[in-house]
Amino acid sequence: MTEVLSFDRAAIAAGRDRFFAPVGKRPVIMGIVNVTPDSFSDGGLFAAPEAALAQAKKLAAEGADIVDVGAESTRPGHTPVPPDEEWARLEPLLAALVAEAGVPVSVDTYKSITARRALAVGVAIVNDIWGLQRDPDMAPAVAEAGAGVVVMHNRETTDPEIDIVSDMLRFFERSLEIARRAGVSDAHVALDPGIGFGKSRQQNYDALRAAPKLLTLGFPLLIGVSRKSIFKGLPDGLMEGRLVGTLAANLIAAGDGAQMFRVHDVAEHRAAFEVFSALRAAPAKG
């Protein structure tokens, strides 16, 4: 039996537009809440709905512009989660989160049924790690609800020999065609180079350096490097989870024109971006 779901398009549009509104004015911060037992960084910490809601409120208070909730770990070697299990993790949390977080909410999923269920409770953005190309009903679901979407580059396998930037450009052109054909407005799309997904370490660095070229497509660029394995071996200092490497990479990406950043450590990034913005705005002397 097909689920019959309805969407509050006005509320979704308000959250969607609030997410995109700061683009071009200041860096936009997407705070991460994983309700998974096996995420690489914080698996199990926020699996309980009360803990996840408290964490989301904390990130919003620290300056997150949106809270991104995921219920399936997509780290290398992860075990896929069936849609009903994914939704069982999300359902106890999402309605309260939409009502109480104080910022828009996005859902990190590549399954259209999960996205539809989340949109029906007021989530405003779908964050799809397969860029609308894994589930053929994803783009229509986004369009029907009037939501925004983050289109991420991904690959089934890693091939160190390919030109990863050219591959990303081709991938994004396909995703954008899918979005447009379904009726998703260009104004409601952001692109994510997919750091750590289907790329060698060198290709991850190449993808990070490609921000200026990717921006020629005309869409905001979201960077998701928070605590990822590309920073293994770099000094962590006393901070959890490769924070120094994450901050450095995100500031370089911001200097190259990236506008959105998906992070675990919101307060530290808000402070760093305030300094970044102040220095960029300060008039030069001499």
Catalytic residue annotation: 228, 262
Report residue 42 as tokens: 């914080």
Residue 19, amino acid: F
Q: Are 93 and 49 in contact (CB under 8 A)?
A: yes
Distance CA 233, CA 143 (A): 42
Q: What DSSP line would sit under 115-155, residue for residue?
A: HHHHHHTT--EEEETTTT-S-TTHHHHHHHHT-EEEEE---
Distance CA 121, CA 103 (A): 14
Distance CA 12, CA 224 (A): 23
DSSP β-ladder status, 222-223 and 189-192: unpaired
Q: Are 173 and 212 in contact (CB under 8 A)?
A: no
